[in-house]
Amino acid sequence: MLSLTLWSKSMTAASIAVIAACGFLLIDDELNARAARVLLQEQWLPNEAATRLLLAAERTAVAAVADYQSDPSQHTHDRAESAVRALRDSSHRLQSAPAPLSALEEAARSAIDSWVEQRATPILRNDLPGTGGNSSAAMKSATEGVEQKIAQHAVELQETVNHTNALLRITVLIQSALLILLLTLLMLGMRTRVLGPLTRLRRDLERSAHHWAHVITPRGPAEIAAVAIDAEHMRRSLIHEHDASDQATQALEQAAPLTIAMRSELDRHDADITGVLGFHRPIEGVVAGDWWWAGEREDGTRVIALADISGHGVNAGMLALESRTLTTAALQAGMSLTVIAKQLSLRSMRPGMFLTLFMCELKAGALTYCSAGHPFAAICGVGGNVQELPPTGPVISALGGSWETREISLPSTSALITASDGLLEAAGDSHFLLVASQAWSRSAGRPSECLEQVLGQSRELSGQWADDVTVVIAS
């Protein structure tokens, strides 16, 4: 099938050819008509009018001379002379005409001059009547010959103008008919070659949208067929993507209970601990690398732990679950904080993975802590008094290390605030200490109010969370 490009070019060339040919004919006909009208208006019609006036002057002059002959008086004499002068003037009003008339006009003037000299003048001078008594008839005959010739040519020119006008009308009709034909062909071609294939392609697309197995068949001109081929390729790609999506959805459905169970275990607390409040928000999905825990031993000692696992996702979640289980069990059993850190470093980890861990014991206004490379922990008091708790050993990794514990006092008006690096990055490492101290001072000793202010100010400073966020406040 002829391509749309070639078809449109052919239709365009045909339209241009028709318009150019009709335009040329119209211009040629118009020029011919204009030339005939100019010749008719400027030469033939004025000569025709002058000839009629000349014939009238001849009849007047002949009649005036005859009246003078029959009644020779001064009055008839003056009227005859005036008529003769008018005849001479009229004979000179004949304009120069084309070659077919020039000889006839010259003969008419000669006949007029001959009649005036041989007939009219001798009579008006009272001379003997001249010869050429028939010269009036010759004069009239010559002038009538000019009139007939002019009338004949005027009729011919008028016929030429009428013929040219008829050609103009015919040309306009032909041009209009051809343009209508071209428009009809264009509309039919658009319907059969463009709209028809597009309609069929649309039906195929609709069917394939509801029934993915329906094959899109290329039809019509090459351009529309190419679109159909591309649509068929897209349909096949969508089928492959749909199959892959189904597989991924099934995998997620199968893995979802395990993921939810992991998150529930990381967030589980046996009971609420007095004066301890924490917050956790994962940045990717529901499994995060951060976790926190608080418990209370039988002797009333409160124990707290907060860890931050490197990375995100399932691997970080698995290490978080394992480290939380070991740490919470060891803390509940009263194991030494340094021993817990050492035991965790002896666990097998994936290459490149590590964790920071902050553990503490709170009893009778004293705080004993061990910080395995944890980025932030501080004692915040009223009035802006702040005491940072630096790490007491390296991060926990396969490289091992040694850790120690430190003991400081925790006044009743103060609070321990510790957070993961996600919160520090949100507020800025240099600003978070100020944010934490101001939040505790403004909270009037209420951990829940302090937590809201810490999270709110950090969120405003960051614009959005970029990492897992975990914070614990103990008073």
102-105 contacts, C-beta under 8 A, 24 or more apart? 104/142, 104/145, 104/146, 104/149, 105/146
Q: How far apart are the first and last CA of the chain?
A: 86
**Single-letter residue type at 369:** Y
Residue partners of 175: CB distance under 8 A and separation at least 6: 18, 19, 22, 26
**In degrees rounded to 5, what are phi and psi of residue 469?**
-115, 125
Residues 246 and 365: their CA atoms lie apart, in Å, by 58
Taking every pair of Cα atoms in the chain, the longest distance, rounded to a whole number of angstroms, is 179
Residue partners of 423: CB distance under 8 A and separation at least 6: 376, 432, 454, 455, 458, 469, 470, 471
pLDDT at 424: 76
Residues 124 and 364: their CA atoms lie apart, in Å, by 168
pLDDT at 268: 64
The residue whose two tokens read 């920071």 is: 356
Structure tokens at 386: 């702040």
pLDDT at 462: 65
Instruction: Mark the ranges of the chain whose per-residue pLDDT is less than 50.
Output: 130-133
pLDDT at 43: 66
Query: Can you give the three-state secondary structure of 40-98, one letter per residue?
Result: HHHHHHHHHHHHHHHHHHHHHHHHHHHHHHHCCCHHHHHHHHHHHHHHHHHHHCCCCCC
∠ Cα 340 344 346 (to 5°): 120
**Single-letter residue type at 130:** G
Going by C-alpha positions, the residue among 403, 408, 411 that lies closest to residue 370 is 403
User: What are the residue boundaries of the structural domains of the chain, listed by start?
Assistant: 4-185, 259-474
Going by C-alpha positions, the residue among 322, 290, 323 that lies closest to residue 308 is 290
R_g of the chain, CA atoms, integer Å? 60
Q: Give the count of beta carbons closer than 10 Å to the beta carbon of residue 28.
A: 14
CATH of 259-474, one of 3.40.50.10800, 3.20.20.210, 3.60.40.10, 1.10.3720.10: 3.60.40.10
Q: Give the count of beta carbons closer than 10 Å to the beta carbon of residue 418.
A: 26
Structure tokens at 161: 């103008």
- Is-contact 290 309, C-beta < 8 A? yes
Residue partners of 277: CB distance under 8 A and separation at least 6: 447, 448, 451, 472, 473, 474
Residues 62 and 134: their CA atoms lie apart, in Å, by 11
- Is-contact 368 360, C-beta < 8 A? yes
